[in-house]
């Protein structure tokens, strides 16, 4: 994988093809490996997928791994590679980072596609019932550390978030960057950043800012890719309706196939086909 020096560290990334850039952003607890089956079929174009700072093969600097930290290193990566007229594809926190980057760089974005993304602040009551107690525990001092740093809960339980568990060798790729308690800090900080019940306030503020941009940017096409909810799904019909009612220039494509939270693992060919056909007509 290529490595790009950014700020005081480095970001590793995958790259295929040439032409107008399509950037694929992963979330927690994955890496660019999530897009391995999507990228080859999502072209044409210069397809890139970074490992977020502290994750995958990217550097592990001694930072707090807040949302703002991830955005800052991602900004530096976009700038170092001189990426403009970008089509963004985001999953989980990658969706939030895509909207956040686009809202702050409106002249550089061509469109945004997203699937099972973290895209709006929620009350605890809005959050899917199956995840409420999990995230309450993660956000509890001491309990969250034991779950995420000691037990590596998200990755050890990865197969419970997909309809079809990936082969052991793919799970090993996700596990490899986190051999120690300290190396798993980004996974805990991401989970605790979930904007629930008005906290963390700084994350809620960023979501509100890019939400306003999403509602007021009809010049930027957007694509929501949805599936029938499977294991660990975060999206509800209410989430999809909120997007449809709120976001300007949004196309919704919902599929009959069942997918867990990690939709690019379950249905990469569907996502790739949607991105490719939609990108062909995006401005």
Residues with a catalytic annotation lie at 92, 116, 261
Q: At what angle do helices 67-80 and 93-104 cross, to 10 degrees?
A: 60
By DSSP bridging, strand 109-117 and strand 86-92 are: parallel
Query: How far is it, in rounded angstroms, from Cα 157 to Cα 40?
Result: 28
In the chain, which ranges are E strands? 3-6, 9-16, 21-25, 46-50, 86-92, 109-117, 222-229, 250-259
Only one residue has tokens 């120690």, namely 180
Query: How far is it, in rounded angstroms, from Cα 32 to Cα 178?
Result: 15
């Amino acid at each position: 994988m290529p490595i790009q020096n950014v700020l005081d560290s480095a970001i590793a990334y995958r790259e295929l093809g040439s032409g107008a850039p399509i950037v694929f952003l992963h979330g927690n607890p994955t890496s660019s490996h999530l897009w391995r089956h999507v990228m080859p079929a999502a072209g044409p174009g210069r397809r890139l997928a970074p490992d977020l700072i502290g994750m995958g093969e990217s550097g592990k600097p001694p930072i707090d791994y807040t949302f703002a930290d991830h955005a800052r290193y991602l900004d530096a990566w976009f700038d170092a590679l001189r990426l403009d007229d970008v089509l963004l594809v985001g999953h989980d926190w990658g969706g939030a980072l895509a909207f956040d980057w686009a809202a702050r760089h409106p002249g550089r974005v061509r469109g945004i596609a997203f699937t099972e993304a973290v895209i709006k602040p929620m009350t605890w009551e809005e959050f899917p019932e199956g995840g409420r107690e999990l995230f309450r525990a993660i956000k509890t001092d001491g309990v969250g550390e034991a779950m995420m740093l000691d037990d590596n809960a998200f990755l050890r339980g990865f197969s419970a978030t997909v309809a079809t568990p990936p082969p052991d060798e793919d799970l090993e790729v996700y596990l490899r960057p986190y051999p120690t308690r300290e190396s798993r800090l980004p996974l805990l900080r991401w989970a605790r950043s979930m904007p629930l019940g008005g906290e963390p306030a700084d994350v809620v503020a960023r979501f509100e800012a890019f939400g306003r941009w999403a509602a007021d940017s009809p010049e930027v096409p957007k694509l929501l890719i949805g599936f029938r909810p499977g294991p660990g799904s975060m999206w509800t019909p209410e989430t999809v309706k909120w997007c449809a009612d709120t976001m300007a220039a949004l196309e919704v494509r919902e599929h009959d196939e069942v997918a867990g939270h990690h939709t690019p693992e379950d249905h990469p060919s569907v996502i790739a086909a949607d991105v490719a056909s939609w990108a062909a007509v995006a401005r």
